[in-house]
Amino acid sequence: MDAHHTDDLDEWLARLPKQTPAEMLAEVDAARRAAAEAPLPEPSLIPMPDFPYSWPHPLSGTVRFACPLACGWHHDERPGVDQARERIVLPLDPEQLERTLTVNAEARAAAMQARIEGAITQHFEADHPGR
Ligand SMILES: [Zn+2]
């Protein structure tokens, strides 16, 4: 690696705001939660997902939520595809960048959870009324 480049990186890292261990832990925790592509569903409503297609199947990114009553219905999510469709404007400031990525990941996870819950609720109303 080029020495000049390394110096620049060190300098850049040194300029990053220092955090307390508690802040770092909180951030790592937030990042870990945000990074989970499929947030762990509420056991009462959202079933554990299956991954019906393995790579290199063209649909290998599919996350499938089957009906908890095993009637054959399912709802598919393709997180990678959702992500590719999104256009995010990324700020240059590292602190804002971090925040933007976290907010985006949380918004994506929340939107996906709402979609899955909505699909399952509709399915229950249509095919399993009263359950
Ligand atoms: Zn069903």
What would the two tokens of residue 5 be? 């480049």
Beta-carbon contacts of residue 71 (< 8 Å; ≥ 6 apart) = 127, 128
What is the distance in A from the centroid of ligand 1 to the CA of 74? 8
What is the distance in A from the centroid of ligand 1 to the CA of 48? 14
pTM: 0.55
Each residue of 29-79: pLDDT tens digit? 777 777 775 555 445 578 888 889 888 888 888 999 999 898 999 999 987
What is the distance in A from the centroid of ligand 1 to the CA of 66? 8
**What letter represents residue 15's amino acid?**
R
